[in-house]
Structure 1
């Protein structure tokens, strides 16, 4: 696996963690049509996390939902790490892992969920998150000394225009929500580069459990200070939380593990480029969430830009 493949998969830290921790896929006897359907099912399930967040933030404050997700997913991954006897980070390495977790989990999802709770469409949030490989490449060039090619610079430009058009079309929703989206992107990207520089070699199962468990109390405290701790619809809240934790924090990563066993990481990584468009489609089908024409054009340009920027 190349260094750039590592960066692509590092965009989704939970995916790396559970994929590495998951047992064999057990799909050797699966019919060919089932194996062929796995990528499409994976993209739909991954994209559904943004729609589930809309339901969850509609029933409870966004930081409360984020705290519940971190707490449950942290316990679940800690159990996986203990059962598999994964080595846990210690000393200074533990501090580095905590910093990565606060950036990639607390900052990213705290900001993204709050933006979704403020009414920003999931497709736009997914597009901003999908711009992560571009920002990582820029940071890696400055911090890690990695070379950026002319085609990458072209992709950065096209992608930036796409993201700009998409978020400009949603400024009427909330300027603060759009800003929060970019705060979440910055947390994810800085955390990924920090992880690449300081926490190489740690076990992904135990380290990701630390990410969640370190982020949960921080988000929980912010929720206590800034939000009204009231769940208006326990049914919607429980369903959204269960989907996010079990489907988006376990199920999709088992599918990812299956694909990584059968295909090149670079090929699997391209599936994430479909997430913004599929998220926008799911948002329209499930909850009637529509995008204005400017945002749709932005989604298309943003996806093309990211493909140009990260393609080998």
Structure 2
């Protein structure tokens, strides 16, 4: 990668890392399920009007939307709203990577190498350290909700793999059509039928504009802009070269939360977070030699968006946070 592309990859990591800060700001103005619904609704309306529907079976589009959209975002927003520090959330949600590998082995018959198993074990130990540290210092429920959010992301990844979209970005955009109605229903039941809509009206007042800015950032900068740049980078470079930059996301999330929200992680939570990051890199099959490979994707092939596919490195020659990935072969590497 040249200097310009490295800077772009770093920019995407910053955009995605600041997403967690924007969520924290948004939750000061909107209830969690309603904010998650708005996040997708902002994208769903223009997508239905202007983006052609991807040619994939509807059940996999629905599964991706329910797992990645409803379960992941709904539970993640609820966890942060209930007290999960946004910096720690940015680390713990990376558990989607080992979850994806394990579920792929259990449900799709994909092979898991010893290297991947070692990475998964390290990531799980890191998660356990964070959860135990949370249990000692604060309520355990928010951490448990964050882990379940990561599990939802993993289920979404499996549906995305089964869909095998020929237009990954179009598939990722159309996924946003699924979550709004389930999330709005959850909001009506758990937060009150009019609570979310009253908060939305208040967002246009003098005191509510930070929540509106946060919503726009989450939906546009964190999703469309970040995913667009990431997809462009993966069209020009090997997945093994680009993917490690996504591990800067929790670093940005922790630093941003520390600077803006005065969140001060404990030494144990930092150690657990480091174990999660290293375990994710090992568990997804990335090696330094993969990052140095000069082989490019086949011309005209669609590259996967690894932010939405934290599982094994996909086949780049076969041609999606949102997310978003291309067809994939289980390689056990």
Q: TM-score range by the shorter chain?
A: 0.7 to 0.9
Instruction: Name the structure 1 match of 2:168.
Output: 204
Matched residue, 1:3:
none
Q: 1:291 to 1:147 in 2, by over 3 A?
A: same
Q: Deviations over 1:24-44 (max 9, x none)?
A: xxxxxxxx6544421221111
Per-residue deviation, 1:280: 0.5
**1:285 and 2:266 aligned:** no
CA shift for structure 1 position 102: 1.0
Equivalent residue for 1:190? Answer: 155
User: For 2:117, which of 153, 171, 180 is the aligned residue?
Assistant: 153
CA contact (8 A) 1:127 1:302 kept: yes
Task: Give the Cα–Cα distance (whole angstroms) in 1 for the partners of residues 120 and 93 of structure 2.
Answer: 14
Between the aligned partners of 1:141 and 1:156, the Cα distance in structure 2 is 13
**Once the 2 structures are TM-superposed, how far is the Cα of residue 279 of structure 1 from its aligned partner?**
0.7
Residues 125, 272 of structure 2: 8 Å contact kept: yes
Q: Which of 44, 56, 76 is residue 46 of structure 2 equivalent to?
A: 76
Change (3 A) 1:88 1:142: closer
Measured after TM superposition, the shift of residue 59 of structure 1 is 1.6
1:253 partnered with 2:223: no
Q: Which residue does the alignment assign to 1:265?
A: 239
State the aligned residue count. Answer: 274
SS at match of 2:102: helix
Q: CA RMSD in A?
A: 2.0
Distance 1:56 1:144, change over 3 A: same
1:135: how far off? 1.3
Structure with the higher fraction of residues in helix conformation: 1
1:124 to 79, 88, 97: 88
Q: 2:190 aligns with which of 219, 226, 230?
A: 226
Normalised by the length of structure 1, the TM-score is 0.81
For residues 52 and 311 of structure 1, the distance between their equivalents in structure 2, rounded to whole angstroms, comes to 31
Q: How does 1:1-312 map to 2 (within 5 A)?
A: 33-82=3-52, 86-87=53-54, 89=56, 93-171=57-135, 172-197=137-162, 199-201=163-165, 203-228=167-192, 229=195, 230-231=198-199, 233-312=207-286
Structure 2, unpaired ranges of 5+: 287-333
The aligned residue for residue 298 of structure 2 is: none
Greater relative contact order structure (CA < 8 Å, 6+ sep): 1
SS of alignment partner, residue 184 of structure 1: helix
3-state SS, counterpart of residue 311 of structure 1: coil
Q: CA deviation at 1:71?
A: 0.5
Q: How much has 1:88 moved relative to structure 2?
A: 5.0
Which consecutive unaligned segments of at least 5 residues does structure 1 have? 1-31
Could you tell me how far apart the structure 2 residues matched to 1:149 and 1:242 are? 41
- Name the stretch that deviates more: 102-111 or 207-216: 207-216
What are the superposed Cα offsets for residues 105-159 of structure 1, whole Å, 9 maximum, x if unpaired? Answer: 0011000001011121122222222121211111112222222111211111111
Following the alignment from structure 2 to structure 1, what is the Cα–Cα distance between the partners of residues 97 and 129?
Answer: 19
Q: What is the deviation of 1:79?
A: 4.2
Question: Is contact 1:97–1:195 with CA below 8 Å preserved after alignment?
Answer: yes
Q: 2: CA distance between counterparts of 1:258 and 1:209?
A: 16
CA distance in 2, matches of 1:193, 1:44: 27
Could you say if the C-alpha distance between residues 236 and 173 of structure 1 is closer, same or farther in structure 2, counting changes exceeding 3 Å?
Answer: farther
Provide Cα deviations, 1:249-276, integer angstroms capped at 9, x if missing partner: 1111222123113221122111122222
Q: What is the alpha-carbon distance in structure 2 between the residues aligned to residue 67 and residue 87 of structure 1?
A: 22
